[in-house]
Structures are given as C-alpha cells and as structure tokens.
Homo-oligomer: A and B are copies of this chain.
C-alpha cells in the first residue's frame, strides 16, 4: 500500500524533473554542445538524487519550485561527473546508462565541454533571473548554491575522485575507503537531502538529523554499489560491471568481504532510519522508503 503510494509520488516527481531538464538543458547550444549535454543527462539513471531532494522538501513542506530546481541541479552535477569520470584519462568507460558514453558518442573534447557546461547549468538553474517567474527567494537561491558547490568541489565529490584516482592498485583501509566515499558519492547524496530540507523551515536539530540520515544513506549507497559491481552483469547495471576489480580499485567488497559488506549496508540503512526517526518529521515516509530502496536495489 505504502509502496504503491510511493511509486505514484515518485513517478509524478520524476516526470516533473524530466520535463524541467528537457526545458532547461538547451538543445540549441552551439556546435552540438547542447546535444552532448542532453545526451549526458536526459532519459537515464535512477534519479536517486532528485528523489531525495523532493522527498526531503516534502517532509519539511518546502517550496515546490525551489525543490524542483534543486532536484535538477543535483542531477546535472551528478551527470556531469559521470561524463568526466568515463573519459579515457579517468575510468575510460564506454557504457553508461545502457548507452555509449558521451565521449564515445561525441568525442573527448565535446564530452569535457559538455560536463563543464552541465556544472555551470546547475548553478544557472538554481538562480533564475526573473525571480517573479522563478518564485525562489534570492536568499534560498544563495543557500542552495552554497550547499551544491561545497558538495561538488574539492571537499566533496571532486576531492573524493582525486582520492579514488590516487588509490588505484593501493591497499586502502576501511577508514580511508570510507573517507573517499564520504566525499566521492556521499557528499552529493547528503547535499540532495539538505538542499531539499533548505527549501522549507527546519530547526537545527532536524537539520542535524537529516544530515546524519543523508550521510548514512550516502555510504549505504556506495557499499551496495560495490556489491553490485561484483554480483551483477553489465546489462542489469547499464554500465560496465566488475570494473573496480579490473581497475584494481579498493572497494567495500575487497576490504570487508562480500558478506560483511552486505551486513554493513543493512547497518547503514538502520542508521539512516534511526536518524530520520530522531528528526521527528511527521511526513518523512518517502525518505524512509528511499533508504530501504538504496539497500534493496539490484541495479
């Protein structure tokens, strides 16, 4: 029952995100740049980050227009990071979301520019020029930009990728692995929750609880990602399976072993749920279900 309701809510939310991205990622950007950007972000992915933004915003009765913009902005950042991450100088991957990667389809230079332009577009989306039309108070625009920039930059996603890069072929302890993932995947997932929360009114204790929820969920997501990388086929994942092993990268599975990694994912989910309960938010059911889904997913 609850799950069916969630599905209806999630479908409606993602339809609005998809429509907004269709409208905001410009097909007519010069010299094919827009086509490469659209290829990189439209019609693909689980859209977990936008769902987290929308669910968190709903839990705090956030401004819908702001939440929609935040949802699109985090997805643009996530999608740009995949475009750059797949390039030959990084992971050199040819398959993503079941399609050839952007650089395979459009060339390396265009892929790099498309990623760069997608990052800029995320901040454009958060700062509508005509605030009468946008309906997002400027102070909220600034807050959302601040949260997004910090999660995407050196202290967050880009920093995590630098550690990832440096760790290839090196033994990494659980602590160092956790630090890497806190930044690489965790920061943007946590920011998704907090950007959604920023769209409404939340007290300091609720903010801290949602921050803990996002933190645990972000790590759980990565642990499951590492598990799926060794247990699932490429066709199911829509991306190249087993590539962490092939690239000799440390993962939760190589560090903890498969069974302990599975137990750890469950622990982290429980931690996320406990944080959510601590928030005292009455309408946080979708956030709770999202934590379940992150751990139970098979792709």
Contact = CB atoms under 8 A, between A and B. Distances in A.
A154 B153 CA distance: 20
A159 B31 CA distance: 8
Given A120-B150, A120-B156, A142-B145, 16 more contacts: A26-B154, A30-B154, A30-B183, A33-B159, A84-B113, A87-B112, A110-B162, A113-B158, A117-B154, A119-B119, A123-B123, A127-B143, A139-B139, A139-B142, A141-B142, A141-B146
Interface residues of A, number: 58
Which secondary structure characterizes the binding site on chain A? Answer: helix
5 contacts: A117-B159, A120-B152, A122-B149, A123-B148, A141-B146
Interface string A28-41: 01111110010000
Interface in A79-102: 80-81, 84, 87, 89-90
A109 B145 contact: no
A29 B166 CA distance: 13
Contacts of A33: 154, 158-159, 162
Interface of A: 26, 29-34, 37, 80-81, 84, 87, 89-90, 107-110, 112-113, 115-117, 119-124, 126-129, 138-139, 141-143, 145-146, 148-150, 152-156, 158-163, 165-167, 183
4 closest cross-chain pairs (CB), A and B: A120-B153, A127-B146, A89-B108, A123-B149
B126 A109 contact: no
A31 to B, nearest CB: 4
